[in-house]
């Protein structure tokens, strides 16, 4: 009988410790949620300006967007305008690389050509996979339409990451068609 009382007391102590830990984690989340959201919004604004500079951006509803490939996922789509005139689309995506998810922001002009690519968070191998996310490689894709990307050179040793970038550009083209009604100028 003594062992049951000790076991019960241990369970009560463990429950109390778990409740306290849960409350502390909740408090930390409440304190950090706002600054994290602000930092994410700041990064998003910088990424939009990098891929489609000088435009005004309006978030679009892409809830019904069904992509042809599962290698990339659209997370947000914005139309870009200058003086009220559409100049393109900015698409936030997550693509599957060698080391896991890669976040990318891609700008497409009204001719559906890449105006810029901003690489965000990733877990690619430094010096190998990350080379496909460097500006020197990404710039080789500027001015190309999503349909012209499949033949673009990749980075030796970073085939999966290069393929992820190309899949993201293709998905951005699908997002363009979805929000703009398929009408490139």
Kindly report, residue by residue over 143-175, the tens digit of the pLDDT: 988 888 765 666 666 778 888 888 999 999 999
The answer on pLDDT for 24 being more than 50 is yes
Kindly report, residue by residue over 100-110, the tens digit of the pLDDT: 899 999 999 99
pLDDT of residue 152: 60
Q: What is the DSSP string of 132-182?
A: GGSHHHHGGGTT--GGGSTTS---TT-HHHHHHHHHHHHHHHHHHHHHHTT
Average pLDDT, the chain: 84
Among 13-17, 63-67, 68-72, 149-153, where is mean pLDDT lowest? 149-153
Task: Report the percentage of the chain scoring pLDDT > 90.
Answer: 37
Q: What is the pTM assigned to this prediction?
A: 0.77
Q: How far apart are the C-alpha atoms of 16 and 157, rounded to whole Å?
A: 51
Question: Average pLDDT, stretch 118-144?
Answer: 83
Q: What token pair was written down for 94?
A: 């997550």
pLDDT-derived band at 1 (thresholds 50, 70, 90) equals very low
The set of residues, in sequence order, having a beta carbon less than 8 Å from that of 2 and lying 6+ positions away, is none
pLDDT of residue 64: 75
pLDDT of residue 38: 80
């Amino acid at each position: 009988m003594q062992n049951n009382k000790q076991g019960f007391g241990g369970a009560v102590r463990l429950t109390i410790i778990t409740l306290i830990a849960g409350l502390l984690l909740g408090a930390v989340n409440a304190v950090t949620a706002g600054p994290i959201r602000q930092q994410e919004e700041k990064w998003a604004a910088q990424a939009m300006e990098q891929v489609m500079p000088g435009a005004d951006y309006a978030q679009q509803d892409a809830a019904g967007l069904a992509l042809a490939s599962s290698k990339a996922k659209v997370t947000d789509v914005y139309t870009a305008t200058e003086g009220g005139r559409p100049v393109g689309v900015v698409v936030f995506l997550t693509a599957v690389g060698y080391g896991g998810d890669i976040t990318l922001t891609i700008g497409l002009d009204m001719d559906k050509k890449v105006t810029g690519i901003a690489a965000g968070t990733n877990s690619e191998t430094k010096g190998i996979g990350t080379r496909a996310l460097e500006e020197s490689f990404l710039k080789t894709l500027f001015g190309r339409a999503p349909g012209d990307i499949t033949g673009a050179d990749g980075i030796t040793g970073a085939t999966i990451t290069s393929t992820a970038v190309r899949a993201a550009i293709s998905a951005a083209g699908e997002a363009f068609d979805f929000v703009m009604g398929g009408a490139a100028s």
